[in-house]
Amino acid sequence: MNTPNLAGIGMTSQRTRERMIASLLEKGIKNWAVLDVMRTTPRHIFLDEALSHRAYEDTSLPIGYSQTISQPFVVARMTEAVLGNRSPEQGKLPRVLEIGTGCGYQTAVIAQLAERVWTVERIQPLLEKARRNLSLLSVRNVRSKHDDGSLGWPEHGPFDAIIAAAAPQQVPPDLLSQLADGGRLVIPVGSERGGQELLLIVREGENFHRQVLEAVNFVPLYLGQVQY
């Protein structure tokens, strides 16, 4: 596991973090590798100082540019879903694609459970913030770029797992085509008004098996890039 370097980073109380983990357990998260990573990943550094005291509440919080950091339960649920029944003996996920880097929190979590992570963000200032946060934690197995996330990152596919942190109206075909045989895609789909569902899509050859995991509320997946 790629453990973040926490030297010199202000730590919140262990009691606060344990309350978050207890909440995740109560809501059904069972994968202890995921729970251990979320216990040790300092969520507060991904937030502006004014909100850092709320970092370990199980809620989404604003990170600027009309975007949010996902609530811990959603991060844990998505991470657990892409891992599936993978045992510790099987090792880390070899290749993971993330759509919607945001401030880098989900990136930091999955990077500790994967050998390599490629992440795409359409909002340039957020990507720069995420890069600073990941550098602060000495996360070195992540490659990032500023681009339209719906296109994926085809030159580095196929991917064993894909996580999307924004909701398209329909699953982008480019993401399906970049999923490896046996790979798992976790993505929210739907509209803010019409409701969204978190889907798990597993590829078997040319067949894609879909399972609804949760009702969710994500920011929309927009096309194109934003410089600001």
pTM of the model: 0.91
Whether the Cβ atoms of residue 189 and residue 167 lie closer than 8 Å to each other: yes
Alpha helix locations (H) across the chain?
A: 14-26, 32-40, 72-83, 105-111, 124-136, 173-177
| Whole-number pLDDT of residue 225 | 61
Condensed to tens digits (0 to 9), the pLDDT of residues 119-145 reads 999 999 999 999 999 999 999 999 999
| Whole-number pLDDT of residue 8 | 41
HSE, CB side, 13 Å, CA atoms: give it for residue 75: 31
Among this protein's residues, is 70 annotated catalytic? yes
- Three-class secondary structure of residue 94 per DSSP: strand
| Whole-number pLDDT of residue 14 | 78
Longest CA pairwise span in the chain (Å): 48
What are the CA-CA distances from residue 155 to residues 82, 141, 174, 178 (Å)? 21, 17, 12, 9
- Three-class secondary structure of residue 91 per DSSP: coil
Q: Distance between CA atoms of 13 and 207, rounded to whole angstroms? A: 47
The pair phi, psi for residue 196, each rounded to 5°, is: -130, 150
Catalytic residue of the set 13, 52, 66, 70:
70
Task: Report DSSP state, residue 148.
Answer: -
Q: In a structure prediction context, what are the per-residue pLDDT tens digits for the chain, which is 228 residues long?
A: 555 554 445 555 678 899 999 999 999 999 999 999 999 999 999 999 899 999 999 999 999 998 999 999 999 999 999 999 888 778 899 999 999 999 999 999 999 999 999 999 999 999 999 999 999 999 999 999 999 999 999 999 999 999 999 999 999 999 999 999 999 999 999 987 778 999 999 999 999 999 999 999 998 888 766 555
Classify strands 61-64 and 67-69 as parallel, antiparallel or unpaired.
antiparallel
Strands (E), the chain: 61-64, 67-69, 93-99, 114-121, 142-146, 159-164, 179-191, 195-204, 207-216
Q: Distance between CA atoms of 36 and 115, rounded to whole angstroms? A: 17
Domains identified in the chain and CATH numbers = 14-216 (3.40.50.150)
Condensed to tens digits (0 to 9), the pLDDT of residues 151-181 reads 999 999 999 999 999 999 999 999 999 999 9
| Whole-number pLDDT of residue 224 | 63
Q: Distance between CA atoms of 18 and 15, rounded to whole angstroms? A: 5
Whether the Cβ atoms of residue 83 and residue 33 lie closer than 8 Å to each other: yes
